[in-house]
Structure 1
């Protein structure tokens, strides 16, 4: 499989690689946030992150890959997938609420070696109609979201349709009683 290695103020290098290790890594969590050591012919190795993978539009097999050189002191911007924990400790989900994921990924900035594979979002204590914002998520030291001008929503707990109907009926009954 053809590829290219660029960045870190070094010349661009063209590479060819066996696609099997790449395919195996593609199916693991945190693929885009992981740092790899790429052994290049001639004995030297590069510390890289995957920047882009091009896929065949018919077979979905990877066709080419772009690697970005990284160093320990440089910050990178990547999209990190979100994952949700403690659903059983969410009163809203226990009552039949539905987790509505607003952001499946959050773009963050940080040193390549300190990036998390996923952003773990804790649902403990969230009730129906509650929202989980980025300010409630604990990010690793040195990792910050790229959106800093607002406290954006990552997920909400939506009311199930049965609960909405019951609340509407209760509200209608309450209005009817007040008229008598």
Structure 2
């Protein structure tokens, strides 16, 4: 079934508004009624575009995945260690641009609701992309084969998520991109073949 372009455009506008509301007020204690009041929409309108509040979190994760698939992946070169550095720095930059509240939400939502653990879903585009980088790196003899592709990809994902959660916990008190870059420069030395 094809989605109505007008409905899709309105939904995208609502998402942008809701993201602004979440950044301003936080997500955890925000109710659908709060979202509707702040976004100046009716509760019926909210439910016309979303099934529940947690759809917002799913949409945030889809936004990250789409950004990586459409903007980051095409920028990769032949050096897979550099691609890992690009990957994690782009994630940090995405967090920085999204703001502390959104980053906190994408870092902790799965911990609160384990039935929807978007972070560890290995079928997510983000996971598939980093596994591809590691796989190619091992094939090119750039990355050690002392660990499996999945193990190294998991190390990368956990490391970058750890920084994003810490940065959000500390209210964005430090340069997340610089911190992630420095960490993964050292990490990359450890996984070099």
Structure with max Cα Rg: 1
Higher strand proportion, which one? Answer: 1
Output the TM-score relative to the length of structure 2. 0.23
Output the TM-score relative to the length of structure 1. 0.24
| Greater RCO, CA 8 A, separation 6+ | 2
